[in-house]
Amino acid sequence: MRFSWDRFSLDFTSKTHIMGILNVTPDSFSDGGEFFDMEAAVKRAHEMVDHGADIIDIGGQSTRPGSLPVGLEEEIRRTVPVIEAIAGDIPVPVSIDTYQAGVASKALEAGASMVNDISGLRFDPGMARVAAEADVPVVLMHIRGTPREMQKDPVYEALVPEGMEYLRTSAAIARDAGVERLIIDPGIGFGKTFEHNLELIASIGEFAKMGYPVLVGPSRKAFIGAILGGVSEDRRLEGTAAVVTACVLNGAHLVRVHDVAEMKKVVTVADAIRTGRV
Q: Which residues are catalytic?
A: 221, 256
Cα–Cα dist 218/278, whole Å: 25
Q: Residue 241 CA to chain centroid, in angstroms? A: 17
Q: Beta strands of 99-214 (E only): which ranges?
A: 114-117, 138-141, 182-185
Kindly give the interhelix angle for 159-177 and 127-134, rounded to the nearest 10 degrees.
60
Closest CA to 96 of 58, 133, 65, 131: 58
Please list, in sequence order, all residues whose beta carbon lies within 8 angstroms of the beta carbon of residue 143, skipping any fewer than 6 positions away: 118, 119, 120, 150, 187, 190, 191
Q: Which residues contact 184 (CB under 8 A, 6 or more apart)?
A: 139, 140, 141, 142, 167, 171, 207, 210, 212, 213, 214, 215
The two most distant CA atoms of the chain are separated, in Å, by: 49
Strands 2-5 and 8-11: antiparallel
Residue 120 to residue 139: CA distance in whole angstroms: 7
Inter-helix orientation angle 101-110/72-86, to 10° = 20
Other Cβ atoms within 10 Å of 83 Cβ, number? 27
